[in-house]
Amino acid sequence: MANRGQVTVVGIPARDEERTVGAVARAADAGLRLASPRGVNVVVLAENGSTDGTVRRFTDTPLHARRAVVSTPGPGTGKGTNVFALMAKAVDLDADRLLLLDADVRSAEPAWVGLLADAVAGDEPALAVPAYRRNRYEANTTNHLAGPLLAAVYGVHVQQPIGGEFAVNRAFLDRAARWPRPDSASLYGIDVWLTANALRERLRVVEVPLGRKLHNSPFPKILRLPQQVLDSLFHVVLATDRVRPALGAPPPRAAVDSASTPQDPAVVARVSASVARYLEEFAADVWSLFPSAATLPAAPWGLRVTTDDWPHVLADALVAVTRGRFTAARDHLVALYVNRVLTFWDEIEGLPDAEIDALLDRQAVDTADAVRAKRPAPGGWSASPRFDAGHWTAFADGSPSVSPV
């Protein structure tokens, strides 16, 4: 077990999470009392421009641990702004470990604190990432972008590389302070930025089973969130020496939860219409940059992108990025990704959970094979750290906010 006399910080990044932040803070506090009864325990809220009662709800929640609030103005900020503020606060507090709990989680358990804290015990840099069960209609960016791309580039299968409930030790914080930070890492790119850099530097990454995760659905952000994730991930890929050999087949996952709720059809329809207009506008460049997608058949939602097709599309994206087409590869891949998600939902209709897990595992393995066959060569080119909505600027009506953050 970890040394219970250490300084432990639980950080909660938040913006406008009045309804759930109090419950997350209580779970963090109870977990700290169990996991570190003799230690110095601090719960820190990092918020950026909240317009509701998030701060008041946090400060009014009774806690045994010390508490602190770090606030940043809203414009130009994102989730990563809050995570970087928590990392800096942990260093200021001379913390031995920092745990992160998303403010919108409705299933946070006190036991998570001890499990995450123990996973990063030791003097070598370590990152703990969650492994939990998710609604089959969620975790789309994880399942179809971050997971298979990390497996393809780094040869490591991580079930939830952008899960949010992370833990790091002080050695990891010191190492991360030296990594270049693209603008997207201050947005939704933060989680993949942490995971990808850890894999790039061959640091210890520990998967921690946390059971079921229930939180606000990210689907309304399906255009801007994956764009920011891809931006951060591609920056790290370009700083990587080479595509690494696979470390074997992934262990069988149990990531799909038996309980599931389909996404709002009205939101899906708006997103699909926006993507269709995007593909019509940029058709010539999309098919040129993604030859594997040029012959995809039509589907009611746009294009049918199957489990067999998608690994080759992802491989095309990495080739384009490593040849200097960073923004176009990022943005065009988002449009194809939305079609992959909608095709995936059609593919898994009626399938049991275990078969869906197996399908996702196969997709990751096939992506690694496709990438190695096309031999993208990272390390010879770099991209501007600046982030904007790029090709998606004129297509904001498919998402609550696609404009530059």
H-helix or E-strand containing 14? strand 7-14
Query: Residues of CATH 3.90.550.10 domain(s) within the chain?
Result: 7-217
What's the one-letter identity of residue 347? Answer: E
Tens digits of residue pLDDT in 328-372: 999 999 999 999 999 999 999 999 999 999 999 999 999 999 999
Band the pLDDT of 402: cuts 50, 70, 90: very low
Q: What span, in angstroms and rounded, lies between the C-alpha atoms of 230 and 389?
A: 12
Asked if 121 and 35 count as a contact pair (C-beta separation under 8 A), the reply is no
pLDDT at 401 over 70: no
Q: What span, in angstroms and rounded, lies between the C-alpha atoms of 345 and 265?
A: 13
DSSP state of 215: B
Asked if 98 and 88 count as a contact pair (C-beta separation under 8 A), the reply is no
Q: What is the pTM of this model?
A: 0.94
* Pairing of the two strands 167-169 and 126-133: antiparallel
The whole-number pLDDT of residue 400 equals 34
What's the one-letter identity of residue 83? Answer: V
Task: Kindly give, in sequence order, each residue whose CB lies less than 8 Å from that of residue 61, ignoring residues fewer than 6 positions away.
Answer: 21, 22, 25, 26
What percent of the chain stands above pLDDT 90?
Answer: 82
Q: Is 277 exposed, middle or buried (0-12, 13-18, 19+ CB in 10 A)?
A: middle
Token pair listed for 105: 């989680």
User: Does the structural domain 7-217 have CATH classification 3.90.550.10?
Assistant: yes
Band the pLDDT of 254: cuts 50, 70, 90: confident
Q: What span, in angstroms and rounded, lies between the C-alpha atoms of 212 and 133?
A: 5
Q: What span, in angstroms and rounded, lies between the C-alpha atoms of 309 and 303?
A: 11
User: What number is the average pLDDT over the span 233-237?
Assistant: 97
Tens digits of residue pLDDT in 71-115: 999 888 999 999 999 999 999 999 999 999 999 988 889 999 999
